A and B are shown apart, each in its own frame.
Chain A
């Protein structure tokens, strides 16, 4: 149900623009107003969500320790997976964010007759996830060429590297292939692996379809339904300098692409995509395991009612005395 719902939602988004631009000529709406609105929704939404999390205290220091902790000098500590200092934490977080270190540990449990359980290493999700995110990142960086004039050198370099395996003109970017491949992989594993299919919600299919559709429209525009790139740059530069213009030469496919991106931006803050920010705040990862050496303060720590020694002795004084145990009051 989630799958079908998400699929048709994305299709509907495309159809809306198509009609809007083709039939009703609402280019200004789709080229200017919606992108602005989406961008600000994105910005404000993300800030709001982060503040919402940041406002909530971290009452306890609960890192998941994934290696030997700090002990005696003669026991080798795993300073990355079980950091004792902030530097260790920074390294751990960097590896987590840039290389998905935890996902790299992934195993697959298998039960054979006997019973015999085994846990082989499996790296596919890690690899697919990494490919997806890095391709996404590079594509995002490449897109900056539409918002900067002149195009800065680093972006030119990224493009040149990305288009290294030139196949005809226009340049075929490898990231485009990897991106579409990775999105397809992530989608397929979601429907093929029974357990993952079982846990999947519309909120899992929707971003994949949306991102996939953005990729497909982008590729279509670039390689098949050539659009007026000069016109697009005029539009994007207009947006970023707050003096929007709508060149009439831009094809509908561009508006579809732009609208889907706007949808992604607007959807981002209220979705699971917020994991991008959340991962940095995760208390099982971003805290040092030094609880017994440094006191962690809980801002809402409050006194609790306990059973005092006096109450205890009052109840058991006689048996304590009989057993020869010391007491406070005779």
Chain B
């Protein structure tokens, strides 16, 4: 399906319809949703109610007692998550969150205002879990859970990227992502997952990574990286896999093994580790830092990531180093320690190169690669030639999760400023904690929902366009594998000509290595500035 031209897509109507939202059934439209999860994916991990069903068909083949399952699930969860119950209870509908969501800004559908997205489920909660809703019904904002209501909840739960931008502005910190997360959990009780999530989850359970790369394929991939790197630098890197006794276990999002431009980030990391002589290992079993289980249910998320610690224990490493990825780090930072702690089989992480103790990670024992690298640079351990990135005019996209779930703002900027000469920020209301989502987070980076992805990508892409026009920016850097894939599509559409890179790709380019040959190309094989003729 061809997408409309950018000018057409950007003609956005923000005026809500005449009829009230409860009386305006959701129109499920192609381009806005992802295909239904396949039954074999659900079966593989034992998720409930697996079946073949199709979104556009009238009958979703729901189990007989679907209403009961959903409502029981809802009752259970409002008693397990204070966040959920509180956020369902205290919204004053002030509307401060309304125009903070990239999907509302780029699409104008009122049900994409975070407050209304939450009301879709809140109205059901009122009906079945509160006295006033039970008695007063619609006038109390309550409504019956019908098949159409269920479909509406589904449709909009998969038009939220769980970016938490809304929660930043809400006077009570109501986090619509939290509501979406639990709505998806409830939908999963009925087997209503999407293929783009269910598939990777099943893959990840079996092979250790979302892409389903088997151990020998991972090894082959790295051999190819090593070949390319040898061509570019004259140095042969020798990564090890599943090696017992290594000091550090490295885990990155598997997208960086497979898809450009993420692969260049992995190559940059390989060069860095080699140059440092780091005693580290990759794992083919724990070969995924990201967690699409997180977009399914809390339990599924935990099931997928158990392997990381099991592997760290088996290989007897001291601590874990994590790659560049957004939602991966939300999970690592805000959930791992609670799920898997205490990690007493690991040691408090210390950089073997600088001796720096990573105090902020002393309990969880996982360090972000940008923390690791910025500490190296600060301590003068890297020989960096910024001019090798002189063909790049760089801006930086903060990932939602690292900014609003960690506050990881300065570390990547410090690295960028040390590996390239031309760095320009996008407008203040679009970066750091106020950053806009790439538009495709939380498992929505499929191809069949391209229209909603492009719409959701508009605020970010528009800010990129601003710096492209103002400073001639040509490279959008980020620290997330999904960003690298999603932003590529989004800027191609909205700001053609702009490319996307990981931060460690630029590190790899700038890194002057011992015994390297005179570099003439960057990690993409493109000539370095001044080397075009050679």
By a beta-carbon cutoff of 8 Å, the part of chain A in contact with chain B is 1-2, 5, 52-53, 55-62, 64-72, 74-78, 81-82, 84, 96, 100, 102-103, 105-109, 111, 114-119, 125, 129, 193-204, 270, 272, 274-275, 278-279, 281-285, 289-298, 300-301, 304-309, 312-313, 315-316, 319-320, 322-326
CB distance from B98 to the nearest CB of A (A): 5
Chain A contacts for B529, CB-based, 8 A: none
Most buried by B among A275, A289, A291: A291
B86 at the A interface (CB under 8 A): yes
Known: A195-B110, A291-B364. A203 touches B141 (CB 8 A): yes
A118–B105 alpha-carbon span in the complex (Å): 11
By a beta-carbon cutoff of 8 Å, the part of chain B in contact with chain A is 6-7, 10, 12, 14-16, 20-21, 46, 78-83, 85-86, 89-96, 98-100, 105, 110, 113, 115-116, 119, 130-132, 139-141, 164, 167-175, 178, 205-208, 214-216, 219-220, 241-244, 284-285, 298-299, 302-304, 306-307, 310-311, 314, 333-335, 337-339, 341-342, 356, 359-364, 366, 371, 374-375, 378, 403-411, 414, 427, 429-430, 432-434, 458-459, 462-463
CB distance from A247 to the nearest CB of B (A): 36
Known: A293-B360, A306-B306, A320-B284. A2 touches B90 (CB 8 A): no
Can you name the residue of chain A whose Cβ is closest to the Cβ of B9? A115
Asked if A195 contacts B406 (CB within 8 A), the reply is no
A5–B141 alpha-carbon span in the complex (Å): 13
Which residue from A2, A52, A292 sits with its C-beta under 8 Å from B333?
A292
Which residue from A118, A194, A297, A322 sits with its C-beta under 8 Å from B15?
A194
Give me the 4 closest cross-chain CB pairs, A-B, nearest first.
Answer: A69-B407, A115-B10, A65-B407, A306-B306
Asked if B90 contacts A272 (CB within 8 A), the reply is yes
Chain A contacts for B206, CB-based, 8 A: 307, 315
Chain B contacts for A308, CB-based, 8 A: 310
Chain A contacts for B364, CB-based, 8 A: 291-293, 295
Asked if A281 contacts B337 (CB within 8 A), the reply is no
Which residue from B94, B131, B366, B404 sits with its C-beta under 8 Å from A64?
B404
Asked if A304 contacts B303 (CB within 8 A), the reply is yes
Chain A contacts for B433, CB-based, 8 A: 65-67, 81
Given contacts A53-B85, A270-B131, 9 further A-B contacts (CB under 8 A): A56-B80, A58-B81, A62-B83, A109-B99, A201-B93, A272-B89, A278-B89, A291-B337, A300-B80
A316–B391 alpha-carbon span in the complex (Å): 44
CB distance from B380 to the nearest CB of A (A): 13
Can you name the residue of chain A whose Cβ is closest to the Cβ of B7? A115
Asked if B215 contacts A202 (CB within 8 A), the reply is no
CB distance from A83 to the nearest CB of B (A): 10
User: What are 14 residue pairs bridging A and B, where the CB atoms are less than 8 Å apart in the complex?
Assistant: A67-B432, A71-B360, A96-B171, A102-B168, A199-B21, A199-B110, A202-B140, A270-B132, A281-B86, A296-B338, A304-B299, A304-B303, A316-B216, A316-B284
Asked if A106 contacts B338 (CB within 8 A), the reply is no
Which residue from A65, A72, A307, A315 sits with its C-beta under 8 Å from B403?
A65
Can you name the residue of chain B whose Cβ is closest to the Cβ of A204? B93
Asked if B404 contacts A66 (CB within 8 A), the reply is yes
Asked if B113 contacts A195 (CB within 8 A), the reply is yes
Which residue from B164, B170, B339, B414 sits with its C-beta under 8 Å from A75?
B414
CB distance from A181 to the nearest CB of B (A): 18
Asked if A204 contacts B92 (CB within 8 A), the reply is yes
Asked if B82 contacts A53 (CB within 8 A), the reply is yes
Asked if B168 contacts A322 (CB within 8 A), the reply is no
Chain B contacts for A114, CB-based, 8 A: 10
CB distance from B286 to the nearest CB of A (A): 9
